[in-house]
């Protein structure tokens, strides 16, 4: 039986001339380990450094140089595996993947083909419409990144920058469980969120620290379920792999385009060739890079320079004990402890720093009110100015005291926005602002009564009308609020006005 939480509630269907088609997608995400040093050398991984300034002899593949494993990188891979609730393999091994390319001085990449460090795990993918589903992770292995060839600096020469050579990557391979472009993007977003919570990868796609190879095939309705029940890939269509995508938008566009290209071929009576393609965002199309026939023969073999990697269960347990609260758990806790709506809890936990800020604002206060203020006022304002939470001029403590002032009835929601504005632009303390600017809500019934009496006395014609039609009482409330500069407690004013008019 198929567990429904593992199937997509919203698979993308594309109508063709010969009937409907469905999409099947599997992602290979390359996540750069957040480590100061490379996987097998002590060279720095700093981004944007002077070309070829972060290159150890072993990165440059000088004769006789031997790789030495960086324990910290291994730890991050294990941490990532644990964060994806995956099996951790106490024994794994490194293999050489041989190919010739100028940015790969060794002539091979050290990777893990046969025995990866992490086995099966899963990622809960949430869609914007409130639906969620599980995507299976097949494995995570550790490998070296390559350098960078630069072809556009000189008309006659190519350059190579080896700073990236040997940087540790985690390749996170999903099962073909992703069923549409939006789901693919949501999967990458969720994966990035988990990696950032764990601190194992900074997830900066622009710097290339997170990139995805996207495998796409199409099939007929029902075929995917047959594959899931039998585990027989024969039910699925032939896939193409689109290499090196580093933007959510491009991932979606490339999948959409690639699926339509395959459908056109199939409907024309042709067959899809398994090949590697490149996406061209300018033309919004994928182009063949190499077909399976001309695919590299990588001549994988166990790396003779490195012993198999054996780790202790105690070490794994210690890493597990040090894991932070992860997004799914944090979100569930926010919903439970602060009474938040699912959507608000997702927004607040999307980023770990945002979540921490919210928690400080909400702790011991009205959680829903706090969520409203953090999301709508603060995030809205920060976004407009392109600021992150750490740059917020209003601290969590300050926003917390605004929430308290509202809850206590000291200020109305409207005045609170004024206080927030002053606090945001000047950095002043909300309690002090309310005091100094005399913004405290008037709850003193004597003062409110005087204001109500004055408005009634000044507007005899309106009083006449309101007595005939009680709905018009609202006008008096408005006048009193205006007269008190918005500081009167609206509820008290309302009651007072109705009592006076009714009498």
Binding residues vs ligand ADP (CB under 6 A): 24-28, 173-176, 215-217, 233, 236-237, 239
In the complex, the smallest distance separating the C-beta of residue 290 from ligand ADP, rounded to whole angstroms, is 12
Q: Which is nearer to ligand ADP, 265 or 447 (CB)?
A: 265
Q: What residues form DSSP beta bridges with 111? A: 95
In the complex, the smallest distance separating the C-beta of residue 192 from ligand ADP, rounded to whole angstroms, is 17
Phi, psi for residue 381 in degrees, rounded to 5? -70, -45
Q: Which is nearer to ligand ADP, 26 or 180 (CB)?
A: 26
Q: Which is nearer to ligand ADP, 101 or 114 (CB)?
A: 114
Q: Which is nearer to ligand ADP, 121 or 400 (CB)?
A: 121
Question: Residue with the closest Cβ to ligand ADP?
Answer: 26
Residue that is written with structure tokens 């012993």 in the block: 307
Residues with Cβ < 8 Å from 58, sequence gap 6 or more? 40, 41, 65, 66, 67, 68, 166
Q: Which is nearer to ligand ADP, 234 or 503 (CB)?
A: 234
Q: Which is nearer to ligand ADP, 213 or 285 (CB)?
A: 213
In the complex, the smallest distance separating the C-beta of residue 74 from ligand ADP, rounded to whole angstroms, is 22
Residue that is written with structure tokens 């033309």 in the block: 283
In the complex, the smallest distance separating the C-beta of residue 357 from ligand ADP, rounded to whole angstroms, is 36
Residues 340, 331: Cα–Cα separation, whole Å = 9
In the complex, the smallest distance separating the C-beta of residue 139 from ligand ADP, rounded to whole angstroms, is 8
Other Cβ atoms less than 10 A from the Cβ of 458: the count is: 11
In the complex, the smallest distance separating the C-beta of residue 95 from ligand ADP, rounded to whole angstroms, is 13
Which CA distances in Å does 448 have to 41, 457, 489? 75, 14, 8
CA 322 to chain CA mean position, Å: 22
Other Cβ atoms less than 10 A from the Cβ of 260: the count is: 14
Q: Is the dihedral of CA 103, 105, 107, 109 positive or negative?
A: negative
Q: Which is nearer to ligand ADP, 214 or 496 (CB)?
A: 214
Phi, psi for residue 257 in degrees, rounded to 5? -65, -45
In the complex, the smallest distance separating the C-beta of residue 150 from ligand ADP, rounded to whole angstroms, is 28
Query: Which runs of consecutive H residues, i.e. helices, occur in 271-379?
Result: 313-321, 327-338, 342-349, 352-362, 367-372
Three-class SS state of 1: coil
Contact between residue 210 and residue 173 where contact means Cβ atoms under 8 Å apart: no
| Burial class for 451, CB neighbours closer than 10 Å (0-12, 13-18, 19+) | buried
Q: Which is nearer to ligand ADP, 47 or 298 (CB)?
A: 298
Q: What residues form DSSP beta bridges with 21? A: 14
In the complex, the smallest distance separating the C-beta of residue 274 from ligand ADP, rounded to whole angstroms, is 8
Other Cβ atoms less than 10 A from the Cβ of 241: the count is: 17
In the complex, the smallest distance separating the C-beta of residue 24 from ligand ADP, rounded to whole angstroms, is 4
Residues 498, 503: Cα–Cα separation, whole Å = 8
Q: Which is nearer to ligand ADP, 35 or 215 (CB)?
A: 215
Phi, psi for residue 276 in degrees, rounded to 5? -100, 130
């Amino acid at each position: 039986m198929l567990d429904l939480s593992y199937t997509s509630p919203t698979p993308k269907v594309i109508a063709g001339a010969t009937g409907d088609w469905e999409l099947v997608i599997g992602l290979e995400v390359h996540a750069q380990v957040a480590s100061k040093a490379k996987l097998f050398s002590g060279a720095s991984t700093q981004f944007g450094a002077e070309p070829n300034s972060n290159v150890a002899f072993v990165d440059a593949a000088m004769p006789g140089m031997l790789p030495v494993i960086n324990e910290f990188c291994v730890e991050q891979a294990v941490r990532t595996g644990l964060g994806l609730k995956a099996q951790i393999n106490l024994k794994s091994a490194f293999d050489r993947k041989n190919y010739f390319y100028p940015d790969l001085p060794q002539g091979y990449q050290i990777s893990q083909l046969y025995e990866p460090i992490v086995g099966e795990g899963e990622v809960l993918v949430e869609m914007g419409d409130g639906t969620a589903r599980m995507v299976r992770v097949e494995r995570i292995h550790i490998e070296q990144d390559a350098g960078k060839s630069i072809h556009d600096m000189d008309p006659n020469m190519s350059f190579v920058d080896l700073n990236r050579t040997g940087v540790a990557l985690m390749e996170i391979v999903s099962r073909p469980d992703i069923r549409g472009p939006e789901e693919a993007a949501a999967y990458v977003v969720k994966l990035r969120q988990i990696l950032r919570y764990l601190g194992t990868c900074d997830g900066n796609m622009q710097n290339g620290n997170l990139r995805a190879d996207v495998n796409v095939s199409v099939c007929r309705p029902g075929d995917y379920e047959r594959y899931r029940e039998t585990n027989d890939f024969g039910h699925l269509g032939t896939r193409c792999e689109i290499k090196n995508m580093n933007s959510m938008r491009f991932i979606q566009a490339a999948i959409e385009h690639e699926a339509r290209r395959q459908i056109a071929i199939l409907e024309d009576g042709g067959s899809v060739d398994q090949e590697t393609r490149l996406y061209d965002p300018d033309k919004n199309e994928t182009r063949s890079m190499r077909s399976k026939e001309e695919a590299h023969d990588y001549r994988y073999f166990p790396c003779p320079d490195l012993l198999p990697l054996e780790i202790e269960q105690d070490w794994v347990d210690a890493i597990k004990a040090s894991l932070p609260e992860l997004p799914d758990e944090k979100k569930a806790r926010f919903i439970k402890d602060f009474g938040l709506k699912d959507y608000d809890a997702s927004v607040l936990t999307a980023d770990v720093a945002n979540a921490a800020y919210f928690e400080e604002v909400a702790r011991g206060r009205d959680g829903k009110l706090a969520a409203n203020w953090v999301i709508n006022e603060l995030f809205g304002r920060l976004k407009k100015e392109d600021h992150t939470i750490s740059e917020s001029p209003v601290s969590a403590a300050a926003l917390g005291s605004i929430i308290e002032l509202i809850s206590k009835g000291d200020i109305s929601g409207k005045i609170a926005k004024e206080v927030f504005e002053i606090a945001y632009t000047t950095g002043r303390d909300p309690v002090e602002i309310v005091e100094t600017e005399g913004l405290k809500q008037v709850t003193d019934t004597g003062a409110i009564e005087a204001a109500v009496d004055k408005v009634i006395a000044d507007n005899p014609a309106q009083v006449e009308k309101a007595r005939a039609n009680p709905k018009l009482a609202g006008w008096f409330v408005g006048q009193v609020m205006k007269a008190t500069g918005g500081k009167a407690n609206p509820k008290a004013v309302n009651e007072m006005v109705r009592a006076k008019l009714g009498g």
